[in-house]
Amino acid sequence: MSMTETESIVQQGQADIILQRTFDAPREMVFEVWTQPHHISKWWGPKDFTNTTQKMDVRNGGVWDSIMHGPDGTDYKNHIVYNEVTPPERLIYTHESGPWFQATVTFEEHGNQTRLTMRMVFASGEQRDRTIKAVNAIEGGKQTLGRLADYLAKMPLMVKHTFDAPAEMVFDAWLDPDVAGRWLFATPDGNMHSVKIDPQVGGEFEFVDKRGDELTRHIGTYLEIDRPRRLVFTFAVPQYSAEFTRVSIDIVPLDSGCELTLTHEGVLPEWRENTTEGWMMILNSLAENLTKA
């Protein structure tokens, strides 16, 4: 997860508070954890606060009723009405309990990252300033987005890629040794030494990439094979860790081509950035190889 801190913009004489932060997660994931009660209950609110969602209906005109529990035992009831819901780009909602304000939350896609901007507009500049003083609103907002960053860091890593090729062709490229050896786990400065694939549930794979004088093994076992929609396998690089993680490949046909979503569970926080970049490089290599097929 990025070490990016939350930025705040509060201008004298204005009635709004703006908070911005970049997250190392695709915006679909960030939007999801902002709009699903089983996610939001685990991170929403400042440090040491918890919250209980009584109702969450994320649609135009829907409401979110919740109770935020302070560390001193004080409960704060919140009633929110959604004015606009445009997945995964934007939320506009009105906070009607306590200090009134309208919030606009935008989710901007930057590669595999998300730039989130939250703008809260109060009834007046005076009301905004009273709210900042009464509940330490700016610091509370920063802590809330910090907790979101921590929560996202513990979630499965997700990478998406759109291909100008049929779903069947993209799926088969993962299980054909001759094809997979040209792109899967291949590195620009290495040579694929050997590829072994047993394409059945319970079957194993082994890719050995030679980088200089060093051999790097990529191994795993197939858990699900549902052509052309879904492929799931365990994965490990014993040279770096004996622990197996889990990778899911989900492919959805489009009018032209298909979209692939790769979900990697069990990646340690210190490896997330390198692992994300590695999968993006691999999927780009797959796209290039499919154009040559």
DSSP label at 105? E
Instruction: Tell me, yes or no, whether 127 and 198 share the same domain.
Output: no
Which of 171, 184, 158 is closest to 247 using CA atoms?
158
Backbone angles phi, psi at 172, to 5 degrees: -65, -25
Domain annotation covers residue 88:
yes
The CATH number of the domain holding residue 173 is: 3.30.530.20
Report the pLDDT value the prediction gives residue 4, as an integer from 0 to 100: 67
63-88 pLDDT tens trace: 999 999 999 999 999 999 999 999 99
In-domain check, residue 280:
yes
- Same-domain check for residues 16 and 67: yes
Together in a domain, 185 and 235: yes
Instruction: State the average pLDDT for the chain.
Output: 94
DSSP three-state, residue 231: strand
Strand partners, 214: 211
pTM beyond 0.75: the answer is no
Query: How confident is the model at residue 272, as a pLDDT?
Result: 84
Alpha-carbon span 193 to 120, nearest angstrom: 56
Number of H helices, E strands in the chain: 7, 15
Residues 182 and 137 both lie in one domain: no
Where does a domain end: 154, 174, 200?
A: 154
What range does the domain containing 25 cover? 7-154
User: What is the count of structural domains for the chain?
Assistant: 2
* Strand ranges of the sheet holding 113-122, from the earlier edge strand across to the other edge: 7-9, 16-23, 113-122, 101-110, 90-95, 75-86, 63-69, 50-56
**231 pLDDT above the threshold of 50:** yes
Do 68 and 178 sit in the same domain of this protein?
Answer: no
Structure tokens at 204: 């194993």
Look at residue 1 and tell me whether its pLDDT is greater than 50. no
Residue 190: what pLDDT?
80
pLDDT digits (tens, 9 = 90+) for 3-26: 469 999 999 999 999 999 999 888
Assess if residue 2 is contained within a domain.
Answer: no
How far the first Cα of the chain sits from its last, in Å, is 36
Share of the chain above pLDDT 70, in %: 98
Q: Are residues 167 and 128 in the same domain?
A: no
Instruction: Give the residue from 123, 154, 185 where a domain finishes.
Output: 154
Q: Are 192 and 240 contained in the same domain? A: yes
81 within 8 A of 74, measured Cβ to Cβ: no
> Looking at residues 203-211, what average pLDDT do you find?
94
Q: Are residues 88 and 192 in the same domain?
A: no
Q: Are residues 170 and 194 in the same domain?
A: yes
**Nearest Cα to 160, choosing from 112, 109, 229?**
112
Report which residue type is found at 6: T
Cβ-count burial 209-234 (b if 16+ within 10 Å, e if not): beeeeeebebbbbbeebeebeebbbb
Question: What tens digit of pLDDT does each residue of 138-162 get?
Answer: 999 999 999 999 999 888 898 999 9
Same-domain check for residues 102 and 171: no
With vertex at residue 267, the alpha carbon angle to CA 263 and CA 272, rounded to the nearest 5 degrees, is 90
148: exposed, middle or buried (C-beta count within 10 Å: 0-12, 13-18, 19+)?
buried
| pLDDT confidence bin for 128, thresholds 50/70/90 | very high
- Average of per-residue pLDDT across 228-249: 96
Question: How high is the pLDDT of residue 293?
Answer: 67
Q: Using 50, 70 and 90 to split pLDDT, how confident is the model at 255?
A: very high
